[in-house]
């Protein structure tokens, strides 16, 4: 009887230690993601309220460099297998700042009230979807291929619509984007939870956290952008 009690006590202690480590792992990802969102908001607000900076960065052909730079950083500036945690941190913060510059024009196009409302809606959606991904027992891994294909399709259509400038296509892209990145938020959260291991080397664990923060950051920023398209009141 005492042996059985001792075994159960050790099992409970291990389970408690695992849960505490998992919570720490997820909180680290969310805090890093939140830091990225904060950097983006500060840079976007600062540039968006400076006509000189807006003209210099987004007022000519150079705007294409600013618009496409985030994609270049995501695809070529993140490689957890080869980059240190510190290098990933620098890349992530650089990406957040570049996104802030590319989003700066929204302060000239939309009212502050509609921007705040869209942010609140996107944040609420993100929180709910991430909570679902964390708590659900359903395996969401089957969604991955569909979601990745959807993201690629959104990128291609968005680039095409920059030249076509079709309001109908813009609405379709935004609706599809909300659906795709809603799914990405839930799947990525579950994936970050499942890959956690208390035996992971701290440096590798930190790299994984930065990659998780990047994935969730992109999902949140994309949802905010698409929600703003529907809800935003133009100046």
- pLDDT tens for each residue of 56-65: 877 777 777 8
Alpha helices per DSSP H over the chain: 2-48, 51-58, 63-76, 85-103, 106-109, 112-135, 144-164, 167-194, 202-231
Is the Cβ–Cβ distance between 185 and 124 less than 8 Å? no
pLDDT at 76: 74
Its pTM stands at 0.85
pLDDT at 32: 95
Residue ranges covered by each domain of the chain: 2-231
pLDDT at 220: 95
**In a 10 Å sphere around its CB, with 0-12 CB exposed, 13-18 middle and 19+ buried, how is residue 139 labelled?**
exposed
**Nearest by Cα to 56 from 67, 44, 47:** 47
DSSP assignments along 168-216, one per residue? HHHHHHHHHHHHHHHHHHHHHHHHHHHT--TTS-HHHHHHHHHHHHHHH
Q: Which two tokens stand for residue 172?
A: 């379709």
pLDDT at 83: 85
Residue 226 CA to residue 184 CA, distance in Å, equals 14
- Non-local (6+) Cβ contacts of 48 within 8 A are 54, 103, 104, 105, 106, 107, 108
pLDDT at 8: 47
**Nearest by Cα to 70 from 41, 96, 32, 52:** 96
Average pLDDT along the chain, 235 residues, taken 10 residues at a time: 51 62 91 95 88 80 77 74 87 90 82 88 94 92 87 86 81 90 94 88 90 92 89 66
pLDDT at 7: 46
pLDDT at 81: 74
């Amino acid at each position: 009887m005492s042996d059985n009690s001792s075994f159960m006590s050790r099992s409970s202690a291990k389970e408690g230690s695992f849960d505490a480590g998992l919570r720490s792992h997820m909180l680290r990802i969310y805090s890093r993601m939140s830091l990225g969102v904060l950097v983006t908001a500060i840079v976007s607000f600062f540039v968006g309220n400076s006509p000189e900076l807006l003209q210099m960065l987004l007022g000519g052909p150079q705007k294409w460099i600013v618009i496409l730079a985030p994609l270049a950083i995501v695809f070529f500036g993140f490689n957890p297998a080869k980059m240190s945690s510190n290098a990933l941190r620098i890349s992530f913060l650089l990406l957040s700042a570049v996104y802030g510059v590319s989003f700066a024009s929204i302060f000239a196009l939309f009212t502050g009230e509609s921007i705040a409302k869209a942010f609140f809606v996107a944040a609420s959606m993100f929180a709910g979807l991430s909570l679902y991904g964390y708590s659900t027992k359903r395996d969401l891994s089957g969604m991955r291929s569909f979601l990745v294909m959807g993201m690629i399709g959104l990128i291609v259509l968005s680039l095409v619509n920059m030249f076509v400038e079709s309001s109908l296509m813009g609405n379709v892209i935004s609706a599809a984007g909300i659906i795709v990145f809603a799914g990405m938020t839930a799947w990525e959260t579950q994936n970050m939870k499942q890959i956690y291991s208390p035996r992971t080397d701290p440096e590798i664990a930190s790299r994984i956290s930065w990659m998780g923060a990047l994935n969730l950051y992109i999902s949140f920023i994309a949802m905010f952008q698409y929600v703003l398209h529907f809800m935003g009141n133009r100046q």
